[in-house]
């Protein structure tokens, strides 16, 4: 549970997107957070405090004149115990108000009175596309960012008003991911990370091919962890149906040759390359252009193979890696003798860091155990979820990078 022990003040302002705040509240609690809801009177026109109280299991605050607090200072008490204030939805009007430091309702009063150093403010804007694009809103968002608020993105699509465009509030799952990411240390801030993930698919003919059991989950978890750590992430993904981690630029490829071309091109702009993909070592020399038909009596067809390029070894031997600009990390999925195999593979691939795992014990699963091998020895990372391991691995990589 990524928000365990975190105390979040969830602020709601007036907007149709308040209906999503109910589900967001549930998600925050499921992830371990304590949620204190504070609503504006306008928000209470869209969703009732009763609903939010039932979901958050705490009394909801709406008014700055609420006498329930012994000192009658809800704006101070509620903000002092918060790890963050997340206003979702944040209306155009509310942002305009915050910008001027106005404080004529409990939520804006609380935002203004919060200790800026210890209680970060995150805003999830929600409004009609014209309002979002209006120069006043654009100006306000820029100024709020300058004043230290984290203004999250907006979604694009159908709006409650019937128009289509930018300005929808992000979905609750997206806001949850953004909040979790917010709390992660920014160990890769300013770094560009390229990740290869998943299997490759080598065609035999237009309907058949050779692939492997890699699920892509470890690479996708690393993409998420690197983004959470502040990196700009490019993800070159073989054929998997996993959702794209937030913030990652994804390129879909199929064959090893396509993966090679995408990785070589994108590595030009990368500071780190993490090769988690299970790249096919060989491809069919001449894939048939038409389906190979079974012919009675003529037996099985014979396939000739040629070797695929080694993406990792090529990049590790390239000029950027040799001059220390590109830091390459390899993976090794083995079936036994992990330490010996991984150590040998690290030298063979010419990479400073190689991450070993037992393939059959992890393929397709949400958990894994890793063995990190570098020039100084090996470090075991015990079995855990792939996301937790990915965050730990990001920390190991960040510690090994030359100063930015």
Q: Could you list the active site residues?
A: 161
In the complex, what is the shortest distance from the CB of residue 213 to ligand CTP, in angstroms, rounded to a whole number? 12
Contacting residues toward ligand CTP, per CB under 6 A:
196, 256, 275, 277, 279, 281, 308, 310-312, 330-333, 345, 349
Q: Is 237 helix (H, G, I), strand (E, B) or coil?
A: strand
Determine the Cα angle at 85 with ends 81 and 89, to 5°.
150
Question: 96 vs 358, which CB is nearer to ligand CTP?
Answer: 358
Which residue number, 172 or 330, has a Cβ lying nearer to ligand CTP?
A: 330
Neighbours of 111 (CB within 10 A): 25
Which C-beta is closer to ligand CTP: that of 333 or that of 371? Answer: 333
List Cβ neighbours of 65 (8 Å cut-off, separation of 6 or more). Answer: none
Cβ at position 359, least distance to ligand CTP in Å: 8
The nearer residue to ligand CTP, 188 or 256, going by C-beta atoms, is 256
CB 10 within 8 A of CB 58: no
Using alpha carbons, select from 224, 400, 232 the residue that is nearest to residue 329.
400
Residue whose CB is less far from ligand CTP, 111 or 338: 338
Residues 225, 180 contacting (CB under 8 angstroms):
no
Q: How far is the CB of 341 from ligand CTP (least distance, A)?
A: 7
Q: Which residues have C-beta within 8 Å of that of residue 216, sequence separation ≥ 6?
A: 197, 198, 199, 237, 238, 240, 242, 276
Q: Minimum distance between the CB of residue 251 and ligand CTP, rounded to whole angstroms?
A: 15
Kindly report the backbone phi and psi dihedral angles of residue 330, in degrees, each rounded to the nearest multiple of 5, phi listed first.
Answer: -105, 160
- For residue 162, give both structure tokens: 């019937």
DSSP category for residue 88: E
CB of 252 to ligand CTP, least distance (A): 17
């Amino acid at each position: 549970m990524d928000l365990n022990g975190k105390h979040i003040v969830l602020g709601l302002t007036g907007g149709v997107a308040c209906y999503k705040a109910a589900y967001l509240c549930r998600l925050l609690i499921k992830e371990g957070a304590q949620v204190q809801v504070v609503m504006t009177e306008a928000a209470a026109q869209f969703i009732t405090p009763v609903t939010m109280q039932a979901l958050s299991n705490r009394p909801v605050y709406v008014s700055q004149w609420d006498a329930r607090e012994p000192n009658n200072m809800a704006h101070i008490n509620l903000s002092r115990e918060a790890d963050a204030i997340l206003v979702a939805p944040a209306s155009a009007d509310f942002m305009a108000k915050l910008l001027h430091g106005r404080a004529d309702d409990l939520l804006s009063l609380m935002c203004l009175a919060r200790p800026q150093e210890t209680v970060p403010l995150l805003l999830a804007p929600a409004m009609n596309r014209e309002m979002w694009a209006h120069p006043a809103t654009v100006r306000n968002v820029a100024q709020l960012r300058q004043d230290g608020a984290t203004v999250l993105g907006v979604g694009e699509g159908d709006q409650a008003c019937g128009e289509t465009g930018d300005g929808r509030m992000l979905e609750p799952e997206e806001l949850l991911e953004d909040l979790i990411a917010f709390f992660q240390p920014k160990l890769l801030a300013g770094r560009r990370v390229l990740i290869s993930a998943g299997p490759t698919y080598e065609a035999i003919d237009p309907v058949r091919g050779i692939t492997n059991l890699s699920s892509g989950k470890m690479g996708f978890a690393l993409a998420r962890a690197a983004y959470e750590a502040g990196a700009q992430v490019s993800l070159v993904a073989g054929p998997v149906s996993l959702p794209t981690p937030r913030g990652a630029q994804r390129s879909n490829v199929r064959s090893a040759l396509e993966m090679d071309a995408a990785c070589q091109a994108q590595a030009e702009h990368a500071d780190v390359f993490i090769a988690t993909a299970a790249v096919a070592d060989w491809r069919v020399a001449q894939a048939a252009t038409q389906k190979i038909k079974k012919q009675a009596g003529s037996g099985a067809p014979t396939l000739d193979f040629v070797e695929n390029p080694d993406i990792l070894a090529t990049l590790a031997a390239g000029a950027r890696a040799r001059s220390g600009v590109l830091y390459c990390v390899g993976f090794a999925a083995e079936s036994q003798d992990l330490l010996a195999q991984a150590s040998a593979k690290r030298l063979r691939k010419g990479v400073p860091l190689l991450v070993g795992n037992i393939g059959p014990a992890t393929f397709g699963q949400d958990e894994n155990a890793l063995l990190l091998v570098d020039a100084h020895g090996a470090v075991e990372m015990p079995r855990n979820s792939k996301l937790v391991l990915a965050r730990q691995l990001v920390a190991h990589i960040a510690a090994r990078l030359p100063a930015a």
